Structure 1
Amino acid sequence: MSDKQKKPQKLKARLPRGFVDRTAADIHATNEMVAKIREVYERYGFDPIETPLFEYTDALGKFLPDSDRPNEGVFSLQDDDEQWMSARYDLTAPLARHVAENFNEIQLPYRTYRAGYVFRNEKPGPGRFRQFMQFDADTVGAPGVNADAEMCMMMADTLEALGIKRGDYVIRVNNRKVLDSVLAAVGLSGEDKVGQRLSVLRALDKLDKFGIPGVVQLLSVKGRTDESGDHTKGAGLDDAQIMRLLNTLGWGAEGSGPNSTVDDRLTIMNLHDRLVEYEVPTEGATELLHIHDLVRAAGYDATRIKIDPSVVRGLEYYTGPVYEAELTFDVTNEKGEKVVFGSVGGGGRYDGLVSRFMGQPVPATGFSIGVSRLMTALKNLGKLGQDEILAPVLVTVMDGDVEAMGRYQRFTQGLRNEGIRAEMYQGNWKKFGNQLKYADRRGSPIAIIQGGDEREQGVVQIKDLIEGKRLSGEITDNTEWREARVAQVVVPEAELVAKVKEILEQQAEDRHRAKGD
Structure 2
Amino acid sequence: MMAKNKKPNPKSLARKPRGFPDKREDVLKAELDMIHRVSSVYRLWGFEGIETGAFEYADALGKFLPDQDRPNAGVFAIQDDDEQWMSLRYDLTAPLARFAAENWDTLPKPFRRYAYGPVWRNEKPGPGRFREFMQCDADTVGAKGPAADAEMIAMMAEALKAAGAQRFNVRVNTRDLMSGLLDSIDARDEETRLTILRALDKLDRLGLSGVADLLGEGREDESGDYTKGAGLDAERVKRVLAFAESGKSSRGETLEALAAVVSGNEAYDRGITELREIDGLLSAMGTPDGVVVFDPTIVRGLEYYTGPVFEGELLDEILDEKGRAVRIGSVGGGGRYDGLVSRFRNEEIPATGFSLGISRLAAAMSLTGELDALSGPVVVLVLDREHVADSHVLAHQLRAAGIRSEVYMGSSGMRPQMKYADRRGAPAVVIVGEDERQKGTVTIKDLIVGAQKAKAIKDNTEWRESRPGQVEVSRDEMVQTIKSMLEADN
Q: Which residue of 2 aligns with 1:506?
A: 485
Identity of aligned residues (%): 48
Indicate the residue corresponding to 2:187 in structure 1: 188
Shift of 1:148: 0.5
User: Taking structure 1 as the reference length, what is the TM-score of the superposition?
Assistant: 0.83
Instruction: Pick closer, same or farther for the CA change 1:218–1:395 going to 2, 3 Å.
Output: same
The separation in 2 between residues aligned to 1:486 and 1:200, in whole angstroms, is 64
2:445 maps to amino acid: D
Q: Tell me which residue corresponds to 1:134.
A: 135
After superposition, the C-alpha distances for 1:11-48 in whole angstroms (9 at most, x for unaligned) are 31112112211121111222232232222222211222
Aligned equivalent of 1:477? none
CA distance in structure 2 between the partners assigned to 1:131 and 1:164 by the alignment: 23
1:313 and 1:488 map into 2 onto residues whose CA distance is 57
Shift of 1:409: 2.8
Which residue of the partner structure matches residue 461 of structure 1? 442
- Aligned equivalents of 2:479 and 2:445: distance in 1? 9
Q: Secondary structure at the match of 2:385?
A: coil
**Distance in structure 2 (CA, Å) of the matches to 1:485 and 1:287:** 67
Specify the code of the residue in structure 1 equivalent to 2:181. Answer: V
CA–CA distance in structure 2, aligned partners of residues 246 and 445 of structure 1: 55
Correspondence for 1:229? 224
1:159 is the counterpart of 2:160: yes
* Cα distance change on mapping 1:382 and 1:7 into 2, 3 Å: closer
Residues 93-121 of structure 1 deviation map (CA, whole Å, 9 limit, x = unaligned): 11111111111221111111122222111
Query: In the alignment, which residue of structure 1 is the partner of 2:424?
Result: 442
The residue that corresponds to 2:195 in the other structure is 199
Q: Partner of 1:371 in structure 2? A: 358
Q: CA deviation at 1:488?
A: 6.3
1:352-367 matched pairs, under 5 angstroms? 352-367=339-354
Per-residue CA deviations over 1:284-307 (Å, capped at 9, x if unaligned) read: 232122112222343434322222
TM-score, length of structure 2 as denominator length = 0.87
Relative to 1, partners in 2 of residues 1:36 and 1:438: Cα closer, same or farther, differing over 3 Å?
Answer: same
Partner Cα distance (1:445, 1:292) in 2? 47
Partner residue, 2:39: 38
Query: Residues 228-247 of structure 1, C-alpha deviation per residue, up to 9 Å, x if partnerless?
Result: 32211112333344345445
Tell me the CA shift for residue 379 of structure 1. 3.1
Distance change in 2, residues 1:118/1:28 (3 Å): same
Please state how far the C-alpha of 1:458 moved relative to its aligned partner.
7.6
Alignment partners' CA distance in 1, 2:165 and 2:428: 35
Contact 1:394 1:439 in 2 (8 A): no
* Cα displacement string for residues 261-288 of structure 1 (whole angstroms, at most 9, x for unaligned residues): 77134235435xx341x56563223212
Q: After the TM superposition, which residues 194-343 of structure 1 pair with which residues of structure 2 at under 5 Å, given as runs?
A: 194-220=190-216, 222-246=217-241, 249=243, 251=244, 256-259=245-248, 263-270=253-260, 274-276=262-264, 278=265, 282-343=269-330
How much does 1:58 deviate?
A: 0.9
- Per the TM alignment, residue 381 of structure 1 is displaced from its structure 2 partner at its CA by 4.3
User: SS of 1:282's equivalent?
Assistant: helix
- 1:178 corresponds in structure 2 to 177
Letter in 1 for 2:394: F
Q: Secondary structure at the match of 1:69?
A: coil
Name the SS of the counterpart of 2:260 in structure 1. helix
Assess if the C-alpha contact under 8 Å between 1:328 and 1:341 holds in 2: yes
> Given that residues 430 and 445 in structure 2 are in contact (C-alpha distance below 8 angstroms), is that contact kept between their aligned partners in structure 1?
no
- In 2, distance between residues paired with 1:49 and 1:245? 43
Q: Which amino acid aligns with 2:71?
A: P
- Deviation string, structure 1 residues 212-241 (Cα, Å, up to 9, x no partner): 322221122x21112332211112333344
- Residue 149 of structure 1: how far off its partner (Å): 0.8
How far off its partner does 1:57 sit? Answer: 0.8
1:124 positional shift: 1.4
Supply the distance in 1 between the matched residues of 2:440 and 2:338 (Cα, whole angstroms).
70
The alpha carbon displacement at 1:56 in A equals: 1.0
SS at match of 1:323: strand
User: Hey, what's the Cα distance between the residues in 2 that align with 1:424 and 1:280?
Assistant: 67
C-alpha distance in 2 between matches for 1:424 and 1:240: 74
1:515 equivalent in structure 2: none
- 1:431-456 deviations in whole A, cap 9, x for unaligned? 5554344334334444445566766x
Structure 2 gap ranges (5+): 456-462
CA RMSD in angstroms, aligned pairs only: 3.3
Counterpart in 1 of 2:460? none
Q: What amino acid does structure 2 have at the position aligned with 1:178?
A: L
| Aligned residues between the structures | 483
Letter in 1 for 2:377: A
Higher mean displacement: 463-472 or 222-231: 463-472
Contiguous gaps of at least 5 residues in structure 1: 474-480, 513-517
Query: Structure 1 residue 338: deviation in Å?
Result: 2.0
Cα gap change, 1:215 to 1:459, in 2 (>3 Å): same
In the alignment, the residues of structure 2 paired with residue 299 and residue 365 of structure 1 have an alpha-carbon distance, to the nearest angstrom, of: 21
Q: Deviations over 1:63-102 (max 9, x none)?
A: 3352121111111111222211111111111111111111
Out of 197-206 and 436-445, give the one that drifted further. Answer: 436-445
Q: Give the whole-Å Cα distance in 2 for the aligned partners of 1:184 and 1:114.
A: 38
